[in-house]
Structure 1
Amino acid sequence: MDAIVKEFSLSDSNMSRPSREEAEEAVRTLLRWAGEDPSREGLLDTPSRVAKAYGELFGGYNEDIEDVLGRTFEEVGGYDDIVLIKDIPFFSHCEHHMVPIIGKAHVAYLPAGRVLGLSKIARVVDIFARRLQTQETMTAQIATAIDQSLGPRGVAVMIEAEHMCMAMRGIRKQGSTTITTTFLGAFKEEAHEQVRFMTMLRGR
């Protein structure tokens, strides 16, 4: 299978991954910069907890999209209409401020003889979400990964999310939602397919 969505890795640059100890010391530095005392009782284990949490929150860098999407199924009984998984919850982090993005993804495709296991689509969303992101990039990455892996007649992805960088800092507007879409193949070329996708979402 051709490489699915060019992914950044430390091996692509001159950087090397810091040690766990270096990561924890960086947290202590941030605590001091914020005005705290990392040696006080309540913060003694915070660097270790933060490093462990980051390993989970940004675990998408350690997962391979090809491993997730490599297996497809051809026994579909002639089914060739929309497959839609909607309201896939995700948590991501803005690459500009490293604060949360909280939202839902809606992913659809039109099969061309093969289908994906439904859980695979949710895992693709999760892998890209657990990286530093912009919503626009994440939307395109999900669509492109499914398109390159499955070769469907079309892919549609919509993401609706609230950005804490807008709610917690700066303009501080809570409750606003950002919507992004990517349409490929028939969903991009045939207006009625986009209409069907949007109609199915409104029906949720």
Structure 2
Amino acid sequence: MTITDVPVRMVKPVLPGLDLEVAEEAARSLLAALGVDLDREGMTESPGRMVRAFAEMFTPRPFDATTFPNDRDYEQLVIERRIPFASVCEHHLMAFTGYAYVAYLPGKRILGLSKLARLVEWFARAPQVQERLTQQIADWLQENVQPKGVGVVLEAEHLCMSLRGVRAGGAATVTSAVHGVLREDPRARQEFLLLARVGE
């Protein structure tokens, strides 16, 4: 694939089949079936708020993934640390939040710095598992920017672990995905991890 100055337009359609009215009625039925008193002041509008919140969490903002020529032949890592993100666990539909550490070793193109954070949000705004989310970010960079290497680490707390089940509040899940030089060369991978300083 030849990369040009034309940015990749990242636009997801509004949730296919989105019907807020039907969803609100379903949410009202669900909460009532769980014994929640929806007639209590402060709760009457909760089903609608709940539905709108989920719709927002499942819909990323569109953006242009703009790249620029690497005209100075920059050959060192570009790292964006502690990119905050929020997603929703597809198993329990509870939030997981944390930080992403995203790096790439440029080839012929470099990516606008803000786009790394937008890319994390793009894939996070959906029912997800952390492993897939990590891989999707790394794969997109590899395929669309064609760098010499890519490294992505996500560190997150999952409310499905903190608030239910094992109730391990504060436990952090760390996932990683690497491509190219960062996968093949242990020294390059070590440099990425050293500079990313995950958890600091």
User: Is TM > 0.5 for Structure 1 vs Structure 2?
Assistant: yes
Which one-letter code corresponds to 1:80 in the other structure?
E
Q: Does 2:119 match 1:124?
A: yes
Normalising by structure 2, what TM-score? 0.87
SS in 1 for 2:154: strand
Which one-letter code corresponds to 1:38 in the other structure?
L
- The Cα shift of 1:156 comes to 0.3
Q: Distance in 2 between matches of 1:18 and 1:129?
A: 19
* RMSD (CA atoms): 2.3
Larger fraction in helix: 1
Q: Distance in 1 between matches of 2:73 and 2:196?
A: 24
Paired position in structure 1 for 2:156? 161
Paired position in structure 2 for 1:31? 31
Counterpart mapping for 1:80-91 below 5 A = 80-91=75-86
Paired position in structure 2 for 1:43? 43
Q: Does 2:77 match 1:78?
A: no
Q: Distance in 2 between matches of 1:143 and 1:54?
A: 26
- The Cα shift of 1:100 comes to 1.0
- The Cα shift of 1:42 comes to 2.1
Which one-letter code corresponds to 1:48 in the other structure?
G
Q: Distance in 2 between matches of 1:18 and 1:114?
A: 37
Larger fraction in strand: 2
Paired position in structure 1 for 2:64? 68
Give the direction of change, closer, same or farther, for the CA distance of 1:9–1:137 in structure 2 (3 Å limit): farther
Normalising by structure 1, what TM-score? 0.86
- Do 1:92 and 1:131's aligned partners in 2 also have CA atoms closer than 8 Å? yes
- The Cα shift of 1:148 comes to 0.8
Q: Distance in 2 between matches of 1:169 and 1:78?
A: 50
- The Cα shift of 1:9 comes to 8.2
- Do 1:76 and 1:115's aligned partners in 2 also have CA atoms closer than 8 Å? no
Q: Does 2:151 match 1:177?
A: no
Which one-letter code corresponds to 1:68 in the other structure?
D
- The Cα shift of 1:108 comes to 0.2
Which one-letter code corresponds to 2:47 in the other structure?
P
Give the share of equivalent positions with the same residue, in percent: 40
How many residue pairs are counted as aligned between the two chains? 191
- The Cα shift of 1:202 comes to 2.7
Paired position in structure 2 for 1:148? 143
Runs of 4+, deviation exceeding 4 Å: 8-11
Give the direction of change, closer, same or farther, for the CA distance of 1:128–1:197 in structure 2 (3 Å limit): same
**Structure 2, gaps ≥5 residues long:** 3-7
Q: Which whole-Å deviations, capped at 9, do the CAs of 1:117-163 have from their partners, x for residues lacking one?
A: 01111001011111111110000000001111100001000001111
- Do 1:68 and 1:123's aligned partners in 2 also have CA atoms closer than 8 Å? no
Q: Which whole-Å deviations, capped at 9, do the CAs of 1:58-112 have from their partners, x for residues lacking one?
A: 113x75xxx532x210054221210000100111110000111111000000000
**Structure 1, gaps ≥5 residues long:** none
